[in-house]
Amino acid sequence: MQLTLEFGGGLELLCDSKKIHNVNVEFEQQNGEDKLTMKGLLSWVRTNLIKERPEMFMKGDTVRPGVLVLVNDCDWELSGQLNTSLEEKDVVVFISTLHGG
Amino acid sequence: MEGKRSVRMCCLCNERRASLSRPKTLEQICRECFYLAFEDEIHQIIVSNRLFIRGDRVAIGASGGKDSTVLAYVLSKLNRIHDYGLHLFLLSVDEGITGYRDDSLETVHRNQIQYGLPLKVVSYKDLYGWTMDEIVKLIGLKNNCTFCGVFRRQALDRGAAFLKADKLVTGHNADDIAETVLLNILRGDIARLSRCSSIITAEDGPIPRCKPFKYTYEKEIVMYAYFKKFDYFSTECIYSPNAYRGFAREFIKDLERIRPRAILDVIKSGENFRISTTTKMPEQGTCERCGYISSQKWCKACVLLDGLNRGLPKLGIGRSRVAIGCKEENESHGGKSIESKQCGSLDF
């Protein structure tokens, strides 16, 4: 699935200082579902894009508290957080709030 | 939620797609309603707490980060549309941290142009003769924030005095204040606890300081800045990883995840603290060396500076809180009870 991922608020430093990543995510079918969810995407990102200090990005199965997630410019809290299903060409933005203001 | 993604409508206007969930109220609202709610809430806080009077010269502590950028924008906007009649300035502090402050100052210079506000920069080098880089080289990577925080406080006052400001505003948000309440409880610092949750503090320095974002969630500030495409600087200070505040922050963030209102509730608890009349509180006087506000003979900045200049970087840091000129005491006297300790002297 083709997706555009953006990292902001300092998270880009964990992915080679690159803010925007156009990626093709290959995923396995789980439980007969052929949809990729945010849960699957996070796991993919941790393995493939995060080059250092993964604890700054994720805590357990989900993002570290203090990291905001937007799917197509909408807060993922509206679409079920980890259960949010993703579609082709979606734009997912991760913004860290954990820095001085 | 399996199947086709459902589109939620804004619960306030019901006309547009909801873009975010407000942590304070759990409302699902669209961008436009969010902007209005956000700005209007700040306006109500300013008015109901009587933060400003017409004609006030107000210095905005601007670091180039998310909070101060949004603060400068919103304050200018509200000043215009509600005609507060304020004269606004940007005030920035250059601590001399290479690779951190020099970049964020560039952002402030851009803000100066974007918002059309005059800018004043004060530097540690000019005020104290030391940059943070030089200080850290001397003291190592522990207790950096103690030096920087103390120096910054005075630097802001000096800058505000230069601008002949009547008030100083900073972008401290609800998350910051909740962290500070926790920190002060963990340290047993009752004097600070009673001051830190006020929205306007006049006792901390010559110029009253206000925090219009006191009840504003960090998440909303970031979302506001993101949707409006603000230009802000967002990196952790390179010397901060060992700061104790980091632990308080982790805890507050974990709390927020479980119950977002917890942040406002922690602040409320901080506000509601009542101190027993038998507790000894520090009295406010002035520093003998520089005349700044102080509860001890010398203000903290003078103590720290003295230590740096004499090559005794541990002076003023850590366990013993003794007057200048005395030998360092070992605090492990048996039999001293908690009540007899002067407040603010419990260390970890």
User: How would you write chain A as a 3-class SS string?
Assistant: CEEEEEEECCHHHHCCCCCEEEEECCCCCECCECCEEHHHHHHHHHHHCCCCCHHHCEECCEECCCEEEEECCEEHHHCCHHHCEECCCCEEEEEECCCCC
Cα(B215)–Cα(B113) distance, integer angstroms: 29
Residues A99, B250: C-beta atoms closer than 8 Å: no
Q: What is the pLDDT of residue B275?
A: 77
Residues B222, A10: C-beta atoms closer than 8 Å: no
The H or E element containing residue B51 is: none
Residues A101, B2: C-beta atoms closer than 8 Å: no
Q: Coil, strand or helix: which one is B200?
A: strand
pLDDT band at A29 (very low <50, low <70, confident <90, very high): low
Q: What percent of chain B has pLDDT over 90?
A: 51
**Weakest-pLDDT range from B126-130, B145-149, B315-319:** B315-319
Q: What is the mean pLDDT of residues B83-98?
A: 94
Q: What is the pLDDT of residue A32?
A: 58
Residues A70, B236: C-beta atoms closer than 8 Å: no
Residues A75, B21: C-beta atoms closer than 8 Å: yes
Q: For residue range B186-231, what is the model confidence (pLDDT) as tens digits?
A: 988 888 887 788 888 876 678 999 999 999 999 999 999 999 999 8
Residue B306: pLDDT over 70: yes
B207 DSSP assignment: S
Q: For residue range B224-260, what is the model confidence (pLDDT) as tens digits?
A: 999 999 988 887 787 777 778 888 999 999 999 999 9
Cα(B234)–Cα(B119) distance, integer angstroms: 20
The H or E element containing residue B130 is: none
Q: What is the pLDDT of residue B342?
A: 46
Chain B residues in contact with A96 by the CB 8 A cut-off are: 234
Q: What is the pLDDT of residue B331?
A: 35
The reply to whether B63 touches chain A by the CB within 8 Å rule is yes
Number of Cα atoms under 13 Å in the Cβ half of residue B189: 15
Q: What is the mean pLDDT of residues A80-88?
A: 92
Chain B residues in contact with A75 by the CB 8 A cut-off are: 19-21, 223
- What ipTM goes with this model? 0.93
Residue B9: pLDDT over 90: yes
Q: What is the mean pLDDT of residues B34-59?
A: 96
Residues with Cβ within 8 Å of B63's Cβ and at least 6 positions away in sequence, in order, are: A100, A101, B92, B93, B104, B108, B171, B233
Cα(B234)–Cα(A96) distance, integer angstroms: 9
Q: For residue range B105-134, what is the model confidence (pLDDT) as tens digits?
A: 888 999 899 999 999 999 999 988 999 999
User: Rounded mean pLDDT of chain A?
Assistant: 90
Residues A80, B257: C-beta atoms closer than 8 Å: no
Q: Coil, strand or helix: which one is B138?
A: helix
B84 against B318, higher pLDDT: B84
Q: What is the pLDDT of residue B1?
A: 40
Chain B residues in contact with A88 by the CB 8 A cut-off are: none
The reply to whether B222 touches chain A by the CB within 8 Å rule is yes
What distance separates the 2 farthest-apart alpha carbons in chain B? 74
Q: What percent of chain A has pLDDT over 70?
A: 91
Q: What is the pLDDT of residue B197?
A: 81
**Weakest-pLDDT range from A31-35, B163-167, B194-198:** A31-35
Question: Nearest Cβ partner of A100 from B6, B19, B237?
Answer: B237
Chain B residues in contact with A33 by the CB 8 A cut-off are: 2
Q: What is the pLDDT of residue B322?
A: 43
Neighbours of B242 (CB within 10 A): 12
Give the torsion sign (CA, A56, A62, A66, A67). positive
Closest to B74 (Cα-Cα) out of B256, B201, B221? B221
Q: What is the pLDDT of residue B202?
A: 77
Q: What is the mean pLDDT of residues A20-34?
A: 78
Residue B6: pLDDT over 80: no
Q: What is the mean pLDDT of residues B63-77?
A: 94
Q: What is the pLDDT of residue B204?
A: 63
Burial bucket for residue A9 (CB in 10 Å: 0-12, 13-18, 19+): buried
Distance from CA of A38 to the nearest CA of B (A): 11
Residues B226, A79: C-beta atoms closer than 8 Å: no
B103 against B122, higher pLDDT: B122
Q: A77, A82, A92: best mutation site toward chain B, by most B Cβ within 10 Å?
A: A77
Q: What is the pLDDT of residue B142?
A: 81
Alpha-carbon dihedral B235, B236, B237, B243, rounded to 10 degrees: 170
Residues B234, A96: C-beta atoms closer than 8 Å: yes
Amino acid making up residue B310: R
Cα(B179)–Cα(B251) distance, integer angstroms: 9
Q: What is the mean pLDDT of residues B4-9?
A: 74
Distance from CA of A15 to the nearest CA of B (A): 14
Domains of chain A are 2-96 (3.10.20.30)
Residues A101, B173: C-beta atoms closer than 8 Å: yes
